[in-house]
Amino acid sequence: MGLPCRFNGLAALVSQFLKNPSLPHALERDQDLRRCSRSRSSVREGEVDAKSYGEDELPSRAIGSEDWYSVPMNRIAVFDSGLGGLTVLKTLRAHFPQVDFYYLGDNARLPYGSKSPEVVQRYSLECARFLATFEPDALVVACNTASSLALEHLERECPFPVIGMIDPIVEHVISEIKPSSLAVLGTKATIASGAYQNKFAAQSTTIDVHAVSCPLFVPFVEEGIFHGPLLKRVLDLYLNPLRAHCLDAVILGCTHYPLLHKELAAYLGESVQVVECGQGVLAELAKLPMSASKTKGSAQFFVTDDATSFSHLASLFLGDPPRVEKVELGAAYGSAVGW
């Protein structure tokens, strides 16, 4: 039996890519063009048009105020370029069930991993601006690309604590696993930024770090391809060279990648510990005072493109399909955003 129609184009590109490794960039550009053309359409009935907020309309806590880490976490906002950040959200909701969460998946403009630093910074600020309308007590940047390229900008501009992916997981791996050799799998932008490599080098001079760009993993996850012969061939392409090293751990340096955890762990073998970024974020949030409420918190989900597809794929690992609203991020397709 052949693949479903929606997989045919991806299957053809993968087949060509195995002959020509430059094709991931063509795939990413093709996705950008298709998603951009859909997302520029006008807001349809039932969709949310997010308001643009100026500096005087942001939450009242002043930037850098000392009460950040004394205010209980009642509301936490999370954003990613698409589905991947839900892997982090699922972990956080399991450990902090009393907290209200607000999740934004910027699926109209994924993947972030193929974008320039300036574009990722602008997109990230736009996502943060939208989520700021819910007056969160903290923002989790559940995207490694945004964490590597835009975290400093977000920390400088946001009137609440901002937690990225990279620092927490590096500290967790060093303190808990104590590896002598490890690999980091990430998007093209994350690996090229050197964020993981530099952080490990600053923390330890004895760890051998191998950074591997895996540009096809995000499109596979967003298409719902979590196993099968196509994925196996791509795993061979990216991970086979790592078998020459005696790895203690592999960090999934993109929040989409945990959806491939089972296949990655099987490929790498039992001697290699596969680490997800959510583990580090959980430890970081545990340092902040949490809500003492005994009432179960809620979760609201927003996307910038196809809400139906997002809800369906999200249900594969969240359980019941979440109610998802499509939003327009104000100046998302215009000039750079200021607060």
For residue 64, give both structure tokens.
Answer: 């850098």
Q: Say which residues have a Cβ less than 8 Å from residue 21's Cβ, sequence separation at least 6.
A: 237
Strand (E) or helix (H) holding 104: strand 100-105
* Edge-to-edge strands, sheet with 75-80: 48-49, 324-328, 299-303, 100-105, 75-80, 138-141, 162-163
Provide the CA 245 distance to its chain's centre, in angstroms.
27
- Among 127, 158, 214, 254, the active-site one is 254
Angle subtended at Cα 121 by Cα 116 and Cα 127, rounded to the nearest 5 degrees: 125
- Among 143, 158, 214, 277, the active-site one is 143
Within 10 Å of residue 210's Cβ, how many Cβ atoms? 16
In sequence order, what DSSP letters do the residues of 175-207 get, joined into one string?
III--SEEEEEE-HHHHHHTHHHHHHHHH-SS-
In sequence order, what DSSP letters do the residues of 26-86 get, joined into one string?
HHHHHHHHHHHHHHTSPPPTT-EEPPP--GGGS-SSPTT-GGGGTS-B-EEEEEESSSTHH
| DSSP 3-state of 315 | helix
Catalytic, 143? Answer yes
Within 10 Å of residue 227's Cβ, how many Cβ atoms? 12
- Give the residue from 253, 284, 285, 311 showing the smallest Cα distance to 82: 311
**Residue type at 180?**
S
**Tell me, what DSSP letter sits at residue 272?**
S
Catalytic, 254? Answer yes
Q: Say which residues have a Cβ less than 8 Å from residue 242's Cβ, sequence separation at least 6.
A: 183, 210, 212, 250, 268
The CA-based dihedral angle spanning residues 278, 109, 107, 283, taken in that order and rounded to the nearest 10 degrees: 10
Active site positions, annotated: 143, 254
